[in-house]
């Protein structure tokens, strides 16, 4: 495993991290699925141990994943291990009306962080971030004040924001302009390269970058077919729809996957390697729920030639942008 500095912090993070959303298991807010279907806790614990054995030291979670279960499971497995870094998020919760609610008030963020620390069995969260806060919340200022207070109290070491999936990124610009926080979590993958300009700006100002959705809900894993149907307790049942799946898979088959043969790698290996070919990225967090996933996401990384990197970047302009409008509707 290789490691990279997380911006200007003293955190040294594994290039491949462990995304814990899926190990939160089935969870609903009202009738809305907010997880990836059922998971087995014993298998999840085995996956966490396999990840650490492989050298993965960065685990990304959130108090909303499994409505706290992902944090609880992670805390049960790693507790206060000093060789493991934990990032978590705050701001989303079940609402009284049966819908997903957001709360970026100072009191709630501080209380929620303390509850996360109890579930994680840790003295401090290494990187805590606002779970897709909007400009209105940042301009209000309570969420920023809360994170600064938590940092002063030693309950979080560093903090930042997880950016909206499809957005012009005014929140990132706000952070950069006002020198707030230490890092961003953002969507960046072969299909969605919208955040590429932010990578450069953030890196220059010393921000760490966590690349999430590296496999675009599994579309870049090579396993999803046009007729794949997801169960109702998997959030992809209303996000990964045949209308967008088929054209994406067609482009991948004809324009991208031939490179797998050249590099003797897998679809996910190529997808992850493309993200890591950008030195601004600190770590990539594929969703992992089994020891086999650990192996799949770490064994097939390759060093891309510059010409192939530029080719894959160019595909974003020529092929992926035309389908982005549809992706935004499901993202």
pLDDT of the residue at 167: 67
The number of residues making up the chain comes to 331
Mean pLDDT (whole number) for 244-255: 92
Cα separation, 23 vs 96, in Å, equals 25
In which band, very low, low, confident or very high, does the pLDDT at 325 lie, cut at 50, 70 and 90?
low
Picking from 214, 226, 208, the residue whose alpha carbon sits closest to that of residue 281 is: 208
Examine the pLDDT at 330 and tell me if it is beyond 80.
no
Q: How many angstroms separate the first and last alpha carbons of the chain?
A: 31
Mean pLDDT (whole number) for 57-69: 98
Cα separation, 129 vs 162, in Å, equals 6
Residues 6+ apart with CB under 8 A from 173: none
Contact 88, 125 (CB under 8 A): yes
Helix (H) or strand (E) holding 85: strand 85-90
Query: Three-state DSSP class for 88?
Result: strand
Contact 87, 59 (CB under 8 A): yes
Cα separation, 257 vs 142, in Å, equals 46
At 6-27, the pLDDT tens digits run: 999 999 999 999 999 999 999 9
At 79-91, the pLDDT tens digits run: 878 899 999 999 9
Cα separation, 276 vs 270, in Å, equals 10
Domain count across the chain: 1
pLDDT of the residue at 178: 97
Mean pLDDT (whole number) for 242-253: 89
pLDDT of the residue at 168: 72
Cα separation, 268 vs 273, in Å, equals 8
pLDDT of the residue at 328: 61
Mean pLDDT (whole number) for 222-238: 92
Q: Which domain holds residue 161?
A: 3-330
Examine the pLDDT at 43 and tell me if it is beyond 80.
yes
Residue 230: other Cβ atoms inside 10 A: 19
Average predicted confidence (pLDDT) for the chain: 95
Contact 159, 151 (CB under 8 A): yes
The CATH number assigned to the domain holding 260 equals 3.20.20.100
pLDDT of the residue at 241: 81
Assessment of whether the complete model's pTM goes beyond 0.75 = yes
At 292-314, the pLDDT tens digits run: 999 999 999 999 999 999 999 99
Examine the pLDDT at 231 and tell me if it is beyond 70.
yes
Burial (0-12, 13-18, 19+ Cβ within 10 Å), 2:
exposed
Examine the pLDDT at 185 and tell me if it is beyond 70.
yes
């Amino acid at each position: 495993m290789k490691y990279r500095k997380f911006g200007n912090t003293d955190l040294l993070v594994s290039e491949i991290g462990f995304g814990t959303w899926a190990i939160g298991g089935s969870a609903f807010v009202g009738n809305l699925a907010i997880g990836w279907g059922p998971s087995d806790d014993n298998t999840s614990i085995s996956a966490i141990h396999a990840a650490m054995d492989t050298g993965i030291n960065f685990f990304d979670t959130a108090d909303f994943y499994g409505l706290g279960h992902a944090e609880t499971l992670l805390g049960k497995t790693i507790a206060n291990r000093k060789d493991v870094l934990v990032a978590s998020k705050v701001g989303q919760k079940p609402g009284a009306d049966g819908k997903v609610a957001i709360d970026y008030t100072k009191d709630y963020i501080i209380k929620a962080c303390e509850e996360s620390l109890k579930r994680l069995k840790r003295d401090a969260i290494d990187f805590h971030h606002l779970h897709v806060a909007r400009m209105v919340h940042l301009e209000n200022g309570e969420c920023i004040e809360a994170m600064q207070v938590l940092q002063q109290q030693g309950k979080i070491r560093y903090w930042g924001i997880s950016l909206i999936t499809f957005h012009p990124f005014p929140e990132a610009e706000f952070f950069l302009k006002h020198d707030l926080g230490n890092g961003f979590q953002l969507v960046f993958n072969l299909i969605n390269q919208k955040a590429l300009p932010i990578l450069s700006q953030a890196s220059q100002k010393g921000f760490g970058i966590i690349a999430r959705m590296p496999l675009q809900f599994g579309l870049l894993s090579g396993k999803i077919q046009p007729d794949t149907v997801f169960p109702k307790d998997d959030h992809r049942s209303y996000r990964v729809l045949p209308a967008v799946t088929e054209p994406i898979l067609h482009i991948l088959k004809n324009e991208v996957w031939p490179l797998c043969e050249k590099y003797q790698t897998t679809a996910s290996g190529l997808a992850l390697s493309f993200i890591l070919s950008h030195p601004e990225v600190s770590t990539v967090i594929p969703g992992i729920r089994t020891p086999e996933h650990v192996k799949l996401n770490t064994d097939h990384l390759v060093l891309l030639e510059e010409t192939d990197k530029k080719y894959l970047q160019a595909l974003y302009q020529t092929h992926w942008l035309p389908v982005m409008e549809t992706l935004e509707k499901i993202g």
